[in-house]
């Protein structure tokens, strides 16, 4: 989204004033903040993936707390990226909403990613909050019982790595 936004706004001019959107301070500030947020999400994921690697090399099964952190870190990173996309999309102009526009596709795809049962941050924050609230002595398998209502009114169960 960062690259697509830069490309779209680089030569874009305001319809009524002719002002360059690519040089407008608000667009530049949103691009800067989104760049930092995406970088932070990536660094957060890379740290989590390094932890996966270390556990794998050591053939060490992670604790319930570690599994919870891995699971919820990924969803939080997705949430951070969606926020960055939303920040840019909100100033991308009306044409960004057209079906054929790449920014619209990226906006839609990022929200679909966040709506997936594994990356639904509402579910993940419930799992992490339960652990931090002192219910962390339960086995990680017990966390599979946490569920959230889906947009269709059904119930989506959290599928855990230990169940695969």
What CATH number did the domain enclosing 107 receive?
1.20.140.10
Query: Does residue 16 form part of some domain?
Result: yes
What b/e sequence results for 131-156 when a residue is b if at least 16 CB atoms lie within 10 Å of its CB, and e otherwise? Answer: beeeeeeeebeebeeeeeeeeeeeeb
Query: Does residue 134 form part of some domain?
Result: no
pLDDT tens digits for range 32-46: 999 999 999 999 999
pLDDT tens digits for range 110-140: 999 999 989 999 999 999 999 988 876 444 4
Query: Does residue 150 form part of some domain?
Result: no
The mean per-residue pLDDT over the stretch 61-82 comes to 94
Query: Does residue 135 form part of some domain?
Result: no
Query: Does residue 142 form part of some domain?
Result: no
Q: What are phi and psi of 157, to 5 degrees?
A: -85, 145
What pLDDT was estimated at residue 9? 87
Query: Does residue 143 form part of some domain?
Result: no
Residue 89 belongs to domain spanning? 2-119
Closest CA to 64 of 140, 154, 117: 140
Query: Does residue 63 form part of some domain?
Result: yes
E-strand spans in the chain?
A: 147-149, 155-157
What pLDDT was estimated at residue 12? 84
148 versus 21: which is more confidently predicted?
21
Query: Does residue 164 form part of some domain?
Result: no
What pLDDT was estimated at residue 153? 40
Q: What pTM was estimated for this model as a whole?
A: 0.78
Token code pair at residue 56 = 């794998």
Q: How many domains does the chain have?
A: 1
């Amino acid at each position: 989204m960062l690259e697509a936004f830069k490309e779209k706004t680089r030569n874009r001019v305001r319809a009524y004033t002719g002002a360059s959107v690519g040089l407008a301070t608000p667009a530049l500030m949103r691009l800067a903040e989104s760049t930092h947020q995406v970088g932070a999400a990536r660094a957060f994921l890379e740290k989590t993936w390094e932890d996966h690697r270390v556990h794998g090399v050591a053939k060490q099964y992670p604790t319930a707390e570690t599994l919870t952190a891995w699971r919820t870190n990924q969803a939080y990173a997705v949430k951070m990226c969606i926020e960055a996309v939303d920040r840019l999309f909100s100033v991308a102009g009306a044409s960004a909403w057209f079906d054929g526009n790449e920014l619209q596709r990226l906006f839609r795809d990022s929200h679909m990613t966040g709506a997936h049962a594994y990356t639904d941050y509402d579910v993940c924050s419930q799992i992490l909050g339960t652990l931090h609230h002192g219910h962390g002595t339960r086995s990680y398998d017990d966390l599979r019982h946490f569920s959230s209502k889906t947009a269709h009114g059904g119930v989506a169960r959290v599928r855990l790595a230990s169940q695969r």
